[in-house]
Homo-oligomer: A and B are copies of this chain.
Amino acid sequence: MKDKTKLIQDIREFNRFYTRLIGLLDGHLLDSDYSLAEARILYEIYVGKQISASQIVATLSMDKGYVSRILKKFEKEGLINKQNFSTDARVSLLALSEKGLKVFHTLNRASHDQVDALIAPLAVAKQKELVMHMQQIMQILNGSGK
């Protein structure tokens, strides 16, 4: 069982590597008016279509007070619409407004371009290999690539 330690060390090396990479991507991205947390929440609302605050809290592992404040800000800026959830009066279902969609697309484009620049130097075959490895990792770690 000695080389289990080696495996773990290798994984942690990758974690450090990817922490740095994501840090660079996210960091440069944030010349926008929105924080990383805000961008992630915006993304969750976008894909969730009709999503509750507690779902966002769960999937992003964020503090519910923090999320509540950000959502309030979004609402004040007119980025989201709230809608009552039929069977539970405590929850509202959130969706992006037109303006919210515009902001999302702006951030989305910037993030897209970041990744584009990252893989631009690679041959297309390498790019495909890269994605394949990523999907394999997701599949191994949680049993689903999607």
Q: Copies per complex?
A: 2
Pairwise interchain contact B12-A115, C-beta atoms closer than 8 A: yes
Given contacts A8-B112, A12-B111, A115-B12, contact A140 B136 (CB under 8 A): no
State the A residues within 8 Å of B (CB). 4-5, 7-25, 27, 40, 43, 59-61, 111-112, 115-116, 118-119, 122, 124, 126-131, 133-138, 140-141
For the complex, give the distance between the alpha carbons of A137 and B10 in Å: 12
For the complex, give the distance between the alpha carbons of A16 and B43 in Å: 10
Q: Which residues of B contact A119 (CB under 8 A)?
A: 7-8, 11
For the complex, give the distance between the alpha carbons of A8 and B118 in Å: 10
Q: Most chain-B CB neighbours within 10 Å: which of A18, A23, A126? A: A18
Residue of B nearest to A111 (CB): B12
Q: Which residues of B contact A130 (CB under 8 A)?
A: 11, 137, 140-141
